[in-house]
Amino acid sequence: MKSSLPLLLVFAMTFASPAFAKGNPARGLKIAQRNCAPCHAVGRTGESVNPKSPPFRTLAQRYPLGDLEESLGEGIMVGHEGPEMPTFEFSPAQIADLMAYLGAIQVKKR
């Protein structure tokens, strides 16, 4: 039986540090526009189409972004009520890109 150590090492390296430190924000914006914009405001301005969906620029006011990164890796369902929120599956590279974008647009609470 082969050791699963290499697979565990790859997993640990992927999730050990915040993805937003190494992703591509431009690709992250495209992911957000494609998957999230039908409900969330994904830009630096604007209101969410669905009033229950927080604008992406304010997510860090509600959740530590690192927690969101983990949820994305598991197939995001956490923090959403009802069947409205679809389940997404993102690759580690897509998560890194989306987290980089989210990190770049956060606004501080006034």
**pTM (2 d.p.):** 0.73
The CATH number given to whatever domain includes residue 67 is: 1.10.760.10
Cα distances from 79 to residues 6, 50, 67, 68, 101, in angstroms, run 32, 15, 11, 9, 20
pLDDT, greater one: 70 or 74 = 70
Instruction: Name the percent of the chain lying above pLDDT 70.
Output: 71
73 falls within a domain = yes
Q: Which stretches of 1-110 are assigned E, i.e. beta strand?
A: none
9 falls within a domain = no
- Interior angle at CA 75, CA 54 and CA 13, nearest 5: 110
Domain residue limits at 65: 20-105
Q: Is the pLDDT of residue 58 over 70?
A: yes
Collapsing DSSP states into helix, strand and coil, what is residue 18?
A: coil
86 falls within a domain = yes
10 falls within a domain = no
